[in-house]
Amino acid sequence: MNELPLHGITVVDLTRVLAGPFCTQTLGDMGARIIKVEQPGVGDDARAIGPFLGDASAYFMSVNRNKESIALDLKAEGDRAVFERLLERADVLVENYRPGTMEKLGYGWEQLQARYPRLVMVSISGFGQTGPYRSQPAYDMVVQAMSGMMSVTGHPDAGPCRVGVSIGDLGAGLYAVVGTQSALLRRARTGKGERVDVSMLDCQVALLENAVARYGATGSVPGPIGSRHPSMTPFDVYAAEDGYLVIAVGNDGLFKRLCELLGLPGLVDDDRFRTNASRCAHEAALKRMLEDKLRGHSRAHWLKLLQDNGIPTGEYHSVSEVVEHPQIQARGMLAEVLTPSGESLGVAGNPLMAGGGKQVVRRQPPALDGDRMRILEELGLAHAPGEGD
């Protein structure tokens, strides 16, 4: 009864850097066994990306817990034999090479499907396996720009701005997790594996739900509007006497209550603010009036008053404040991983496990090729085919 939901699922992980490793780490957090296949000598590119804790990359460690590592050269006959032995036992293969690379290696979907009919193959790429851009390389910044995500991020007249995290990679990684589990559910019914094709660009467009719908409904092109919501007001970051807080009012009833609590009951009867639509049309004027009042007391004063009276609000946090926040700690959203030399690094946890009493880190981020001998022994190989006598 204590088994994690993906216990018993084996994933062969050919991914590197962020989108793919984030996908496989999430699968590993939920109980799957992740066997990370890396390039001999250098490993995942992320191992060379800082910041570093001793000789270990914090970037790599943040997305590679709960994995084993074996280094294989998929162009070398002996290592290919080991890889194919792994595929015989695997439920899922995840890769994020440029489309066409797996086919050149002899491991394209049609070839794998014929040899391993129950295998689920998950392919993450910049633009997907089809379309005129399929062969183009991409990083997070490329798809943020091309998808329109950057066009609705930041402040007016401030120039293009990326989202503050690598949402192009992270979004693709999460959609890949959903696709993997969906394919496994279907296999449970049909007995057959399938190909999951995840495009980073597609995933960014999917995350533009509100912007695309607004363009479809109005014909106007959405642009950057800072922190406020495009369709609800007041719904923004506001300045108090000693810091910032967020106030998010989603209906007329909440707005009336907010005005009463702030001692501004006359705003409710002001034609500019009587309805949500009119408040959106006069958002700047309303924000000035609210901040004139909010600057009269501390952030703590307003947070207590508003939260105690059912107004959705929250403090604006830096990352250092987030990791110390009691709600984040209570929900288990912080994890600790260790470098191969034993140094500790705090990383983000897994929200799917939070509060469930599960241990998120069951295996530390692996050293390159650190599990080779054990994996080979498990496969019945004293050494890799082609090695030794």
Tell whether 373 and 256 lie within a shared domain. no
Residue 268 inside a domain? The answer is: yes
CATH classification of the domain holding 50: 3.40.50.10540
Distance between CA atoms of residues 33 and 10, nearest Å:
5
The stretch 10-16 carries a mean pLDDT of 98
354 band by pLDDT with thresholds 50, 70 and 90: low
Give residue-wise pLDDT tens across range 261-270.
Answer: 999 999 999 9
Tell whether 303 and 348 lie within a shared domain. no
Residue 299 scores a pLDDT above 80: yes
Give residue-wise pLDDT tens across range 367-385.
Answer: 999 999 999 999 998 665 5
CATH classification of the domain holding 286: 3.30.1540.10
Residue 387 inside a domain? The answer is: no
Range of the domain at 42: 10-207+329-378
Q: Which of 315, 346, 367 is the last residue of a domain?
A: 315
Give residue-wise pLDDT tens across range 31-55.
Answer: 999 999 999 999 999 999 999 999 9
Residue 217 inside a domain? The answer is: no
Q: What is the pLDDT of residue 328?
A: 94
Residue 389 inside a domain? The answer is: no
Give residue-wise pLDDT tens across range 236-250.
Answer: 999 999 999 999 999
Q: What is the pLDDT of residue 141?
A: 96
Residue 211 scores a pLDDT above 90: yes
What is the average pLDDT value for the chain, to the nearest integer? 94
Tell whether 304 and 338 lie within a shared domain. no
Tell whether 281 and 364 lie within a shared domain. no
Tell whether 40 and 145 lie within a shared domain. yes
341 band by pLDDT with thresholds 50, 70 and 90: confident
The stretch 295-306 carries a mean pLDDT of 97
Residue 2 scores a pLDDT above 80: no
Residue 70 inside a domain? The answer is: yes
Residue 272 scores a pLDDT above 70: yes
Tell whether 34 and 167 lie within a shared domain. yes
Residue 160 scores a pLDDT above 90: yes
Tell whether 356 and 294 lie within a shared domain. no
Residue 368 inside a domain? The answer is: yes
Give residue-wise pLDDT tens across range 250-260.
Answer: 999 999 999 99
Residue 2 inside a domain? The answer is: no
Quote the number of domains for the chain: 2
Q: What is the pLDDT of residue 173?
A: 98
Q: What is the pLDDT of residue 381?
A: 87
Tell whether 297 and 170 lie within a shared domain. no
* Residues labelled catalytic: 229
Residue 224 inside a domain? The answer is: no
Give residue-wise pLDDT tens across range 186-203.
Answer: 999 999 999 999 999 999
Distance between CA atoms of residues 268 and 283, nearest Å:
14
Read off the tokens for 277.
Answer: 């639509």
Give residue-wise pLDDT tens across range 98-136.
Answer: 999 999 999 999 999 999 999 999 999 999 999 999 999
Burial class (CB in 10 A: 0-12, 13-18, 19+), 215: middle
Residue 389 scores a pLDDT above 50: no
Residue 386 scores a pLDDT above 70: no
The residue with greater pLDDT, 99 or 386, is: 99
Tell whether 296 and 346 lie within a shared domain. no
Tell whether 85 and 54 lie within a shared domain. yes
Tell whether 292 and 337 lie within a shared domain. no
Tell whether 38 and 176 lie within a shared domain. yes
Give residue-wise pLDDT tens across range 281-293.
Answer: 999 999 999 999 9
154 band by pLDDT with thresholds 50, 70 and 90: very high
